[in-house]
Chain A
């Protein structure tokens, strides 16, 4: 062949380029198919699998006397699963029967079914079916196997505004929580606890989600059903709260003409909270029906028993009495004369009774809550003894109850004052003696004082969750009583204190708290409030043979006088010790068969 020769070095050049690109391709191929295999596999699974998820119902929240205070309200929907060879006549027939049996609109049903059939996508055709209708549904299911019923659960609080601060409420997952809950494998339409027990025990209350897994094609049409995962219910939380006590206290508070107040009742022998009433509470169902975050702010969620700080006022006289008796400087028979005022030299301190109480012994002094008597006691034993006793009663310590935003009280005494480089005057001692001045306590702390006197010295950590029980009746967690600290007072001190506190009820300021047949011991208090009417205090404990003694602390903001608070305590004591009271209002539901229409 004449002419041109083959220049093979040129074709070699081209092939070299080809091999370089080939190597690049293989590297990229390995990176896609081997290195990132699991990533792409997840994506392809996501593509093909559609889940009709069924959220597992949340566990119930149940009081110690088996009243469910947070339950699930089932709602039912009917789904249509399209299959091949369905005629229009069949759809007509089906729609007609459904509309007759379940009394819903024929046109709507027919439209939903037709759309579902045409697109081959399973879809809900009826929402929020009533529980009665679900019974009729099973008749339909026999004729039309394409239909399936689906149960969904909404959170429901049967008593609405009841025990709100303890139970808490649920809501949709908020924007700032999404990451956290997704990492916990939550479905985004789950309800999650926002406050209280609902939040604290979210991981227990949450049910196990299940669902129907379907394989779909690129247009979302059902190809086949891969599997079904059974959901299960979450664990039940058993509270220590006694429904009767709680109800009695809330009713009693609501009858009072004052806007805010709180009452806490506790078993004095173990720290179990029996009642935790806060006025105004809030309707927990409000939150499950409204999703608007702004609405939340309108609600007064202030937790008075643990976050509210008030001067202890006359209730502090219990600590004064204990301090006096322990010091040995006064005894039951120590007498002081009350002319209605106390002359401290440069200043005159008044008794709340302007006429004066005349001559009083210790029992009378506490029963009548005589200020002058305690000015004398304070003067006699000195401020250090008082401050020490207040510390022993833990007025500057959190009680340790498992609730957020608990505050500790503040003891006003010479040591505290000195650390602030101030001076301590005799007037300060006198103010301190009657619980005014700068001493501040929470109702919860005063409850602990009463409970420690009732059980002679033990400070239990208050708790409100007794146990957590799984859906198959296994106890997952049980809280045991826990002694936080102990105070040792002489037996005579207790005897005298009991006598004095009892006389407050029998012939003193706390007469309204008297319950026949029950030994009630208590003390009223009226905390001076420069911003308005005085706050009313009543703290008490009560005992009766055969039952654990209970301690109660009541505070009514602007309640004017301690005796208003005593009424609340009385109702609580009655409901706890006397079974017949309020029993007509209480319908005891057994734990398992709560059905709400």
Chain B
């Protein structure tokens, strides 16, 4: 059997990588808020959140995670209810009604609802392991996520939706989804994004309307007579292609073309819908991502200043509490979403590499836990959490490095944000629970 030294009760590597992230993050938060009036409150809240988080982690660790499996539906419904409630009782901050204002702190229920979504999906997949192999299963899988996304969109919290896509994708892949569905989804996504993208292109460069393709897409980017013509034309063309192909090879099923048509149709309609939903500031973010110097004082300001902070740090940085970009307030959102540029400025590339190394260890460790887990439920859940942390990593760091448009996604464990920290610690607690019970028989 397994030797005694492998029966470790607690995954210290996982925990220590988290603690190093939290320590660096706390230093950066303390430094970046020096000039802010509400500095003390921020630091106090942050430290309290870390302690609550550690406590919650220990609680989840002691707790058998299979209880989550049993009660996954109730948990999910409970958090959906909270998400519904926040739409009525919540307070708005930066245009999103995402917070409950409680006597001593604010609570963002979506952070916890996201965990419950991962739990419920893992539970579903572990109960119906082959469900992702057929379309009906996939549809059912996505129907589960639908209320969560609808409620999130209602707040609206698009960066919250964005970050949730990562664990979903990872769960789908490890759940053995036929990769064709992923390709179909990517194709659909391209069609969807094409429509708003045309708007961005035209905004950035009005001369591009001279190009006939851009002009055509621009005229059909909102619902009118042209769009009906477009849909009919697509249908007819696809039908003609099928007729042709059918002559050459009669074995090819028409259903491919029907699917193809439905994807274009659905993608196009969703594209029009999304375009009508996108707010001006979101367009600006995308524009400033593509071309930040277009409006360096306006929409491009954040990303330029964050980059300047990062770049001016050099190898060793300007020293703790000495970063001018962050201390003097040139970097916006410096204690939340742009915390990494503060670390880069004050601790240099060394600080940033420590963060990246700690994150990599964390994500790597989750994979180990997933593989070690005693059951498939723990496996799916761990994979989902790994996907979630990858999402934070990609979007937040990618945004600062310029790979991704500005999105309000924090760097979990490093950024300031009570709910996010507590929720992230809960995840670590669940993972520790999976780790500890890896050798027990369920």
Of the candidates B328, B352, B367, B403, the one having the most CB atoms from chain A within 10 angstroms of its own CB is: B328
Does B390 count as interface, using CB distance less than 8 angstroms? yes
B95-120 interface mask toward A, CB cutoff 8 Å, 1 = contact, 0 = none?
00000000000000000000000000
B370 partner residues in chain A, CB cutoff 8 A:
6, 11
User: Which residues of chain A are near B353, meaning CB under 8 Å?
Assistant: 26, 29
Beta-carbon contact of A13 and B363 below 8 Å: no
| A580-B378 Cα distance, complex, nearest whole Å | 113
Distance (Å) between the CB of A222 and the closest chain B CB? 11
A40 & B307 in contact (Cβ 8 Å cutoff):
yes
A11 to B330, CA, bound (A): 41
Q: Does B356 belong to the interface (CB within 8 Å)?
A: yes
Q: Give the chain B neighbours of A4 by CB distance below 8 A.
A: 126, 129-130, 176, 376
Contact A22/B176 with A41-B314, A217-B329 known, Cβ cut-off 8 Å:
no
- In the complex, the number of residue pairs spanning A and B with C-beta atoms less than 8 Å apart equals 131
Docked pose: A518 CA to B62 CA in angstroms: 120
Q: Secondary structure of the B side of the interface?
A: helix
Kindly state whether residue B418 has any CB partner on chain A within 8 Å. Answer: no
Residues of B within 8 A of A36 (CB): 311
Bound Cα distance from A4 to B174, whole angstroms? 11
How far does the alpha carbon of A13 sit from the alpha carbon of B176 in the complex, in Å? 12
Contact check: which of B324, B349, B397, B402 meets A30 at CB < 8 Å?
B349
Do A215 and B324 touch (CB < 8 A)? yes
Which residues of A have CB within 8 Å of B345?
44
The answer to the question of B198 belonging to the interface, with a C-beta cut-off of 8 Å to chain A, is no
Q: Return the contact of A34 from the options B315, B329, B387 (Cβ within 8 A).
A: B315
Closest residue of chain B to A28, judged by CB?
B401
Note all chain A residues with C-beta closer than 8 A to B170.
11, 14
Which chain A positions have C-beta within 8 A of B176? Answer: 4, 7, 10
Output the least CB separation between B305 and chain A (Å).
8
Chain A, residue nearest B329 (CB): A218
Please, how many angstroms separate the alpha-carbon atoms of A7 and B383 in the complex?
Answer: 11
A47 CA to B345 CA in the complex, in Å?
Answer: 14
The CA-CA distance from A521 to B170 in the complex, in Å, is 107
Residue pair A43, B328 in contact (C-beta under 8 Å): no
Inter-subunit contact A11/B324 (CB<8 Å): no
Number of interface residues of A (CB under 8 A): 40
Q: Are A11 and B374 in contact (CB under 8 A)?
A: no
Is B35 part of the binding interface, using a Cβ–Cβ cutoff of 8 Å?
yes
Scoring A residues 12 to 53 as 1 if CB is less than 8 Å from chain B, else 0, what string do you get?
A: 011100100110111011101110110111011101100000
- The reply to whether B35 and A217 form a contact with Cβ atoms under 8 Å apart is yes
Given A18-B390, A219-B329: A28 and B402 interface contact (C-beta under 8 Å)? yes
Report B261 CB to chain A, min CB distance, Å.
Answer: 30
Query: In this assembly, does B308 line the interface, its C-beta being within 8 Å of a C-beta of chain A?
Result: yes
CB–CB B328/A25 < 8 A: no
Please tell me if A212 contacts chain B, counting CB pairs below 8 Å: no
> Considering the chains assembled together, what is the distance between the CA atoms of A10 and B174 in angstroms?
5
Known: A28-B402, A29-B349, A32-B401. A47 touches B325 (CB 8 A): yes
New A-B pairs, 7, CB < 8 Å, besides A6-B371, A34-B349 = A6-B174, A18-B363, A21-B394, A29-B356, A32-B310, A41-B311, A44-B324
12 interchain pairs, CB-CB under 8 A: A6-B370, A7-B174, A11-B386, A22-B356, A25-B401, A28-B402, A32-B401, A33-B352, A34-B314, A37-B311, A37-B312, A43-B312
User: A-side interface residues toward B, CB under 8 Å?
Assistant: 1, 3-8, 10-11, 13-15, 18, 21-22, 24-26, 28-30, 32-34, 36-37, 39-41, 43-45, 47-48, 215-219, 223
Q: Which 10 A-B pairs have the closest CB atoms?
A: A40-B311, A4-B129, A44-B312, A218-B329, A217-B328, A33-B349, A37-B314, A48-B324, A41-B312, A40-B312
